Structures are given as C-alpha cells and as structure tokens.
Amino acid sequence: MEFRKLGESDLEVSAITFGAWAAGGWMWGHTERSEAVAAIRAAYDHGMTSIDTAPIYGQGTSEEIVGEAIKDLPRDQVQILTKFGLRWDLNKGEHYFDSQDNEGKDIAIYKYSGKESIIAECENSLKRLGTDYIDLYQIHWADSTTPIDESFEAVAQLIQQGKVRQAGVCNYDVAQMTQAEQAVSLVSNQIPFSMVNRGVEDETVPFCIEQNKSVLAYSPMERGLLTGKITPDYKFQEGDHRANHPHFQPDFLQKTNDFLNKIKPIADEKNASLSQLVLRWTIERPGITIALAGARNAEQAIQNAKAIDVKLSAEELAFISSHVEKLYV
C-alpha cells in the first residue's frame, strides 16, 4: 500500500481508503454485519489501514461496525476518518431530506453543525467507534443555519482536548473552505470525483493543490457504475438508492460500458479488474490524494486493496484520460 500525508499535517492515510457507507446498510438495501466486519479486517490486512465512516451511515450502524472491526487492532496503526453535521435524531438546522432507517422507520435528515451538537456528536462517535480519538473529523455537509466559524471553533476545541487529530471538510466549495480556515487549519476536503463526475476539477481541486489541501475522492467507482458489472437490465434490491439515480438509467449505463470496453484491454494486460484500473487512475489524477472504496465483503475489500499494485505508465494514463475526456462530449 502507498500512504499519503493529509495537507501539511503528520497524518498519513492509505492511498486507497475503506469507505464504510455501504457497511451501514442505509440506502444500500441492507447490511450483513459479520461480512462488513470481515471486509474491514481484510482491508486492513492488505494495507488499507484508513477507514472513512459517518454517524448517518445506518444511523450509527457503520461506526459501530468499524468499532467492532478495529477493537483488536493496534490503534496507532489505524486511521479513523468520520464526520459530523447530519442529524436524524434532532429536528434542528436545515432540513436535508426524508428517508427511512434500516428498520423502515421514517426519519428526517437535518444539516446541523451548531457547537453543542458537534461536541455531542463527537462523544457519540467515540463511543460507537470504541476509541478515545478521531484521526480526521470532517463536516459532512454545509449547514446554512450555523456560521461556519462557530462550527469549526468547536472542532478546534476538540483538537485541543485531544479527541480529534485533524480537521477536514466534505462537499465544501472554495469560499466555504476559506472561511473555515479562519477558525481551524484544514487538511482536506472530501468531494465526489470519478471518471463520469469531474466537476470539482474546475475550481475546488485547483484551489486544494494551490493551498496544499488534500482531496479525498468519494464515489470514485461512481457507486459501482465503473465496475463494468452493471448492465442496462440490472435489478437493484429494494431500498438501493441507485435505482433512481440518473447514472444508473439504461442509456447512461450503455454509454459508460462502451467507454469501459475501450480501456479494458489495459486492465487485461495487467491482469487487473476494471475496478482496480479505475481506482489506480483516480489516485494518479492531479490533486487527488486518496480514493475511497467501499466493500460489502472481504473479497471485494481485498480486490480494492490490490488496485495499488496496478502500475500505469504516462502513456497509459494519457490514453485513459483521453477517453475520459471524450466520454460524454
């Protein structure tokens, strides 16, 4: 595995980091706790020592699973990345959307990052994770009802108390990052980035390069779209949010699979899967520090970790990128 520093900090994370959203089950149809734990342990055994989670993933379930998976591992050799700012248990702040929890109960999701809420969320996360500190604490989404400096003064307090090592953001634009920096030094921005979703390269990624902030790319596989395994007639499980997503409609799926067929010979030549090729391309992209990759079982986690073994020449990267550029012209 390759390890990369976040921003100007001394926090190093695995270039391919375990993304634990699906492990929580919520919006992914279901979760099998034992398989999720096995996936995280397998990832760790193959060098993916960094795990990204959030309280909202399964309304605490994902963090609990992470805590169970790492309880016997050396804490200083695991990097826990989690988040704050999405509440399902408190009707306060900016209403985000309505959903159902893993038991089918209706819940309302709110973006709320008031100081007292962040302090409480941190304590709850520490308990679920079974640890006394979080390596990277990130705001999940901007909360329009709370001043940014108030939110990050709370994070700065948690850093002073030793409960958080470093501060990051998710889904922030340049102006929001600049404002947050007034209260605390940020090391990273976790933003959506994939071969079919590159809007962040217009402004946010160049800013992060200039300011030496790391970019954590989430959904680099575009929720499984770029595996090449999802065909236009694919049937999603009940509760899987992808069923109605624009990227998973027949026309888009066909265009994507046509593109993947063009780059598949490179994967075949290296005895690698399309997923591994896509992950390797992602972490070679200018400005991208790490890629988050989810897994529902141990075998998927091991395959994600092995993407680091794929070596791409400058010519091969250019070839793939040229087809990425032409993808939806």
| Helical axes 298-305 vs 274-284, angle rounded to 10° | 50
Q: What is the DSSP letter of 185?
A: -
Closest to 285 in 3D by CA, of 201, 199, 165, 161: 201
Measured CA to CA, the distance from residue 129 to residue 169 in angstroms comes to 20
Closest to 265 in 3D by CA, of 309, 219, 323, 308: 323
Annotated active-site residue 112? The verdict is: no
Grouping H, G, I as helix, E, B as strand and the rest as coil, residue 281 is helix
Those residues with Cβ within 8 angstroms of residue 244's Cβ, 6 or more apart along the chain or in another chain: none
Helix residue ranges, H only, 241-313: 250-269, 274-284, 298-305
* CB distance 88 to 108 below 8 Å: yes
Residue 80 CB-density burial (10 A; 0-12 exposed, 13-18 middle, 19+ buried): buried
Amino acid of residue 24: G
Measured CA to CA, the distance from residue 124 to residue 107 in angstroms comes to 19
Amino acid of residue 188: S
Phi, psi of 269 (to 5 degrees): -60, -30
Residue with tokens 């501060």: 167
Structure tokens that stand for 144 in this block: 């329009």
Beta-strand relationship, 3-5 and 12-14: antiparallel
Closest to 194 in 3D by CA, of 159, 233, 154, 225: 225
Q: Select which of 57, 96, 110, 172 is catalytic.
A: 57
111 - beta bridge partners?
A: 86, 94
The catalytic residues are: 57
